[in-house]
Amino acid sequence: MKLGSIALSSISPLPRLPQLQDLHLPGNALSCVDDCHSLFPSLELLNLQGNHLDTVEALTSLASLEGLTELQIEDNPLCSSLENYRPDVTKVLPKLEMLDGVSEF
């Protein structure tokens, strides 16, 4: 599902889609993704590029997504505030196989 650049500030209003595997939310105003695990429990790919995520802690709830293997978070404040954010993100989300198009962290 693609919902890019629609000024979305929360994922809470989105419908629960238990079978959804790919979710693209680039260019929105998301600062956290706390409801992702309850709304989209089957996610494998999540694109959050260009949102307002400013800490690695904003991503911790994604750890409960058993199948999440690919995450895109480029162009978020956390990427520019941390010199090398990838190790911090993969520490919180150890099942990731791909982070911002890179498979080696």
Q: Which pTM does this prediction carry?
A: 0.95
Question: Does a structural domain hold residue 14?
Answer: no
User: Residue 50: what pLDDT?
Assistant: 98
User: Residue 25: what pLDDT?
Assistant: 98
Query: Is it the case that residue 105 has pLDDT exceeding 80?
Result: no
Range of the structural domain that residue 30 is part of? 22-99
Residues with Cβ within 8 Å of 85's Cβ and at least 6 positions away in sequence, in order, are: 56, 73, 78, 79
Assign 22 to helix, strand or coil.
strand
User: Residue 13: what pLDDT?
Assistant: 94
Q: Tell me: the pLDDT tens digits for 43-100?
A: 999 999 999 999 999 999 999 999 999 999 999 999 998 878 999 999 999 999 999 9
Question: Does a structural domain hold residue 90?
Answer: yes
**Please, what's the b/e burial string for 72-93 (b: 16 or more CB within 10 A of its CB; e: otherwise)?**
bbeebebbeeeeebbebbbeeb
Question: Does a structural domain hold residue 9?
Answer: no
Q: Tell me: the pLDDT tens digits for 40-58?
A: 999 999 999 999 999 999 9
Domain CATH number, residue 52: 3.80.10.10
Tally of domains in the chain:
1
